Amino acid sequence: MRPDPTAEFRHRTVEAPAGRLHLVEQGTGPLVLLVHGFPESWYSWRRQLPALAAAGYRAVAIDVRGYGRSSRPAATDAYRMLDLVEDNLAVVRALGEESAVIIGHDWGSNIAASSALLHPAVFRAVGLLSVPYAPPGGPRPTDVFSRIGGAEQEFYVSYFQEPGRAEAEIEPDVRGWLAGFYAALSADTMPDEGDPDPHFVAHGGRLRDRFPAGTLPAWLSKDELDFYAAEFERTGLTGALNRYRNMDRDWEDLAPHRGAPIEQPSLFVGGTLDASTTWMADAVEAYPRTLPGLSASHLLEGCGHWIQQERPDEVNRLLTDWLRTLRD
């Protein structure tokens, strides 16, 4: 029998503005805070925690508010970016630390970037996976998203923003929906070029109508899918989806920081087959202005969206190499 790679993980909850936050940690040394995206949990960092611990770091992966064992406030506006940043501050303090390197994936990338932007003395460096940094500002987000789909279809962000709508699609079959969503954005199972894009919903249809059926990506075992499904079957999806329902509030809240760069040391890692990276290519090109402390920007050839799960060894090497430069 193979040893359980999660056996050395330490689970705990800490007090936070959300009520409580669940976190999983491994190792000792400088604090590295890992923030997941949608629809994931601390578990999406299961392959990074041991690697970071072995490299001499205190690696801590949280359940973002609304997910897993963390509190799930009822109010939609309790999931605004400013609140999630305060949660991260609370974790650092609860762990008895004064500062941390923060690393995020997907929505976690945005949360990590905002944490670093708003509290540079606490978040001394920031790593961004899949979603590039774009400074606050620009047009109102919902106005932009409403124009993306055109007359024939609707962008998935707009679909997620309507309360209850995505929940009605997902919650009757959480496991099947998650399997399809993970497969749709994974390099080895995503639809072929020219097939209907799973980031869009046909009018009157469902997002899952465009997901691959009956296949799991290579990085996801049935047991791992079961873990994710059990988490969301217990919590529901509303807390997770409320992140999308606060984008206009975030736009207003962060207006004083319009165009602001992140000065701290930073790292970006994206996949060449990830729409989050390709759609925001202009943001990557702007890094000399927006991330003046950037150590490196890596695009992993043939990698999809779930980057630290699709390419754990490569991502672990890039993260630990970068973290080592922060100690030199």
- Residues marked active site are found at 106, 305
- Secondary structure of the chain in the HEC alphabet? CCCCCCCCCEEEEEEECCEEEEEEEECCCCEEEEECCCCCCHHHHCCCHHHHHHCCCEEEEECCCCCCCCCCCCCHHHHCHHHHHHHHHHHHHHCCCCCEEEEEECHHHHHHHHHHHHCCCCEEEEEEECCCCCCCCCCCHHHHHHHHCCCCEEEHHHHHHCCCHHHHHHHHHHHHHHHHHHHHCCCCCCCCCCCCCCCEEECCCCHHHHCCCCCCCCCCCHHHHHHHHHHHHHHCCHHHHCCHHHHHHHHHHCHHHCCCCCCCCEEEEEECCCHHHHHCHHHHHCHHHHCCCEEEEEEECCCCCCHHHHCHHHHHHHHHHHHHHHHC
